[in-house]
Structures are given as structure tokens and as C-alpha cells.
Chains A and B, each alone.
Chain A
Amino acid sequence: MKPDLGVEICGLKLKNPVMPSSGSFGLPGYEEYMDLNGLGALVVKSITLHPRAGNPPPRIAETTAGMLNAVGIQNPGVKWFIKNDLQRLRRFTPPLIVSIAGTTVEEFAQATELLEKEEGIAAYEINVSCPNIEAGGRAFGMSAAATQAVVAAVKERTRRPIFTKLTPNVTDIVEIAQAAVEAGSDGLTLINTLLGMAIDVKLRRPVLANVFGGLSGPAIKPVALRCVYQVAQAVKVPIIGTGGISSATDVLEFLLAGASAVQVGTANIVDPYIMPKIIADLEKYLEENNAASVREYIGALKTH
């Protein structure tokens, strides 16, 4: 019998635990290159209340086994999103998760109100963790109180499940995770990028026009695994793990650490066809290892 790849998180039924991470995969757009219906869920690039032009280039710097980005949440704004992108994305079968970002609590609240009136959205991801939205890499997710304020404001305005996306750029990620859950977050996504920088010695300049950027890719996987593990020990809500995932064994590592599903980010940027490969490999791995369901791995890490 084929192993069961299905998982359920906050009432969302995913046919497998693999979905793209916000901002790394063109949605809409990539239906031009592949069948999106094989994915566990669809997560869009963070949307803000008002359109954002984003940062000047260069916005990317390659680093050892990773990359820095400073896109600056370039997006067309929630109204344009609803009128255009949402219409196109509704056609696909995997649950649609809309990522919301903002620079004030009020912006999160208003964007939620507008989205709430629309059909075809399964859940929200609350991006309180983007290092590229405010000067100096600050984010709401660096403070428990600010995280709580954003989550509470969104929660008040929605019937849909919300996943708060956490930043690793904090002293104690568990404290922030608990604050988000207390404020009503139904699940958590972690981690967003690590704040970093790159320097061009010849030019004596930062590589990124924004000076700082968010580090992602294989280089951050150990940090992400640690964060997922720590938070899973402390909270009861489902966790979506993300950070450096590029293979089926990476996925299983995150599930063992306590995640119920995963997001693939930078690996999509390197290979847009990686997720279907990961899903196929996952099925093969479970079959070869006589596991009936991928759920057997969730939180099943042995530490003694």
C-alpha cells in the first residue's frame, strides 16, 4: 500500500506536508511551468494594505550555501491582490494561505478586514518577521508585546485560522511563540530569514543596496531545526517548519523536530521543480522504511 502523505493543520487538509514559503515561488505565475495541484498548500508572497515598490537593487547576494535578500515586500497591495491574483489562485485545489505583512498594527487589521470578505482563502500567515520592511531590519516579531498586538488585531477580524510567522532574530523565540499563541494564533510558521549582510571588498561597499538582508537557504537549516524543536516543546499548536529545506530527508528532520508541515523557500529559487521531487522522494522514503503515514514522524524525535 502507498504510504499516506496527508496531514491536517488547524483544520486544513493537506494531501502532503510540502508547500512553498512566502516570497520564494511565483503565485500566481508558476502554473505556467508546472501543475500546482500536487502541492500540499499554496502560500503567496506577503501582501500589505498599500502597494509597496520594494527596495532598490541589488536585492540579492549569494553567500556560502545560502543567499541574502532585501526585496522589501514588493507587492501590489491587498486591493489589487483581491481583484487579480486571488481570482487566479482560487482555481487551484490546495488550500490557499495568504501572507499578510504591514508596518503598523492598523495596516494588518485593515488588510485582514478586506481579505476576510473574499472566498477561497483557507488561512492567513501573519508575517511579523520580515527584516526588510523597516529600516535597520527591525520587525514586530522581535518583541512579544508587538507580536501579541498584531496577532490579536488579526484574530479579532477573522474566522479563519492564522499562522504567525516568527523571526529567529530574537533572544528567546519561545517567548515570542508563546505570546503569539496567547493572542490567538492557531498555528506558527518558523523561521523567517536571519538578518545578515555581505560586503564587496573591491568596492568597499555592502553588496545589497539596503545594506542588510535576510539570510536563507541550506546554511540556516540547523538554526531553523533548533527553533522548531524549542518551540514545539513549549506550545501545543501546529508548527509549519521552514528554513533551508531542499530534500525529503530535510522534511522528515523538521517533522521529527515537531513540525506538522513544511515550507520550501530558497530551494525553489534554485530549482522551481524541487517540491514535486521532494514529495515523490518522501513517498519513496516512507515506502522503503515501512511507514504507513508521514504523520508517524511528527514530533517523534528520540532524545534519550
Chain B
Amino acid sequence: MNVSHTLTVTKNEDQGAGYFHLVAQAPELARAARPGQFIHVHCAPSVDPLLRRPFSFYRLRPEAGEVEIYYQVVGKGTHLLSRIRSGTKLDALGPLGQGFPLDRKAQRILILGRGMGTAPLIALAEAARTQGTEVSAILSARNSATLVGDRLLASWGVEVITVTDESGTSAPEKVEPLVAAALDRPGTAQAFVCGSRRLARLLKRLAAARGIPAFVSLEERMGCGLGGCLVCACRVRTPEGETYKRVCKDGPVFPLEEVVLG
């Protein structure tokens, strides 16, 4: 399979708080991609920055031939990306990695996201709603301006609970009862977390105690994005003992019980 694509940017909009929403035409990619997978983007046609940058899909709209990402400007690559105008062509590899294993028959799922880590969970929630699965969402962020996707989720009929550092509601001991209650809702078949190791640890413990399959989307610095260079290591527990897996190829989505969250 050829994973090289030329995206035509149709929108790249400042959302405030250093967040941007990018929409691009890429019909083949939009058809092939699944929630939880990512694209590996060359932010500028130059050798500085040299490497590509990974971004999860925020929305997939195959009927419009479009893919969307939601990103935060944090350094050189994302700064260059934020200055791209619509009409610009972007060189990207994708769809890469293993997506979320959404159960077709799930009555309800829980998504637990922190900050920008919520982005891939939005694509997941959309797929869940499309197949008729109910979604409970708990979104965490520094403040209300840095919450991602809360209004979009609400527009799909998702019950969204938001917690923020600013309002003093996001500490793990305060989030714990919310997650427990969400997991205990009848029909909750799977749970997904992204954007915070603390939340991932919390979900791992609570989901395991209830026997609910739970998954995390991990981030690690990447080179190739295709499994060939072995730089994107994450620690996992296997029957043979602890070892490293590749976030780009074996992940970024892993069963929570497998990953060593440190």
C-alpha cells in the first residue's frame, strides 16, 4: 500500500489558546483511515525542521473527501504548520498505526481526554455515534479555553463532563468518582483515554477492577512513523516479560493492561 499522500489544505483556523483546526482534501486517505490512526506530516519542504510530525485524526469525513486534525502550537514544526494557508499542498504519510478497536456491538463507551489528547477521541466518538453506540465523555484541561471538542460532542448528543485545573475540579481524586460512575453505567463496554499518564493510570485501575476493556493512545517522539527505525519505544508487559513496542506501528493505541505507564 502506498502511504504517501498530498493533502490540499482547505482550512487552517486559529481556535484561540494556540490551538488550530486544519481541514484538508485527501479522498483516498479519508477513505482508508480509522479513528486512532494518525498522519505523519512534513510541516515545511525543508531540512530544518527535518522530521515529520505525527497528528491523530480529529475527524474523518470520507463522504467529503476530507480529513481533519486539531493541533496545538508547541514548537518549530507546529508553528510552521499554523502559518499554512488554504490551498497549500502538504506532504503526509498515512493512515499510520493501529486505531481504536471500537466494538461494533458496544452499547456505550467512555472517553477520557486531557487537553490536546482529546483530539483522537473525537474521531472515535463520531464513529461510535454513527454506529449507534452511546458515548460518555470526561474532558480535562487547564482551563475552559483549552478544552477540545466539548461542543462538537454535545452536538452529537454526548453527555460531556468537563473538569479544569482553573476550577479546581481536575485533580485525580476528584476525577476518580466521575470515571467510576461512568464505568458503572449499565452498558459501558469499553473505555478509552488519551493525553495524560495520570488519567491513564486511573482508568487502568478502575477499568481493570470492573473487567471493562480499556485502551490508551500514547505519544512518543517519532522518526519514520512506519515501524522501521525503532525510535518511538514504549514499555509494555508481555507474557515473556517487559519489552519495548513501537508507538507508531504497534500503537499508538494499546490495551491499558499491556502498557507500563511508569
Contacts and interface: CB of A to CB of B under 8 A. Distances in A.
A26 B230 CA distance: 9
Interface residues of A, number: 37
A59 B50 contact: no
B51 interface: yes
Given A60-B223, A67-B223, A272 B93 contact: yes
Interface string A39-50: 000000100000
B230 A45 contact: yes
B4 A71 contact: no
Interface stretch (B97-105, B165-173, B231-239): B231-239
Contacts of A23: 229-230
Contacts, number: 98
B232 A57 contact: yes
A150 B3 CA distance: 40
* Chain B contact surface mostly: loop
Given A217-B50, A269-B51, A272-B93, A56 B228 contact: no
B147 interface: no
B50 A270 contact: yes
A32 B1 contact: yes
B15 interface: no
Interface string B38-54: 00001000011111100
Contacts of B51: 60, 62, 67, 269-270
Contact of A269 (B221, B229, B244): B229
Nearest to A266: B50
Contact of A25 (B48, B52, B93, B228): B228
Interface in A216-257: 217-218
Nearest to B228: A26
Contacts of A67: 50-51, 223
A33 B2 contact: yes
Contacts of A268: 224, 228
Given A59-B221, A217-B47, 18 more contacts: A26-B224, A29-B227, A33-B2, A54-B244, A56-B233, A57-B231, A59-B230, A60-B232, A62-B51, A69-B223, A71-B229, A71-B230, A218-B50, A266-B50, A268-B224, A269-B228, A270-B51, A272-B228
Interface of B: 1-4, 42, 47-52, 93, 220-224, 226-235, 243-244
Interface of A: 23-27, 29-30, 32-34, 45, 53-62, 64-67, 69, 71, 74, 217-218, 266, 268-273
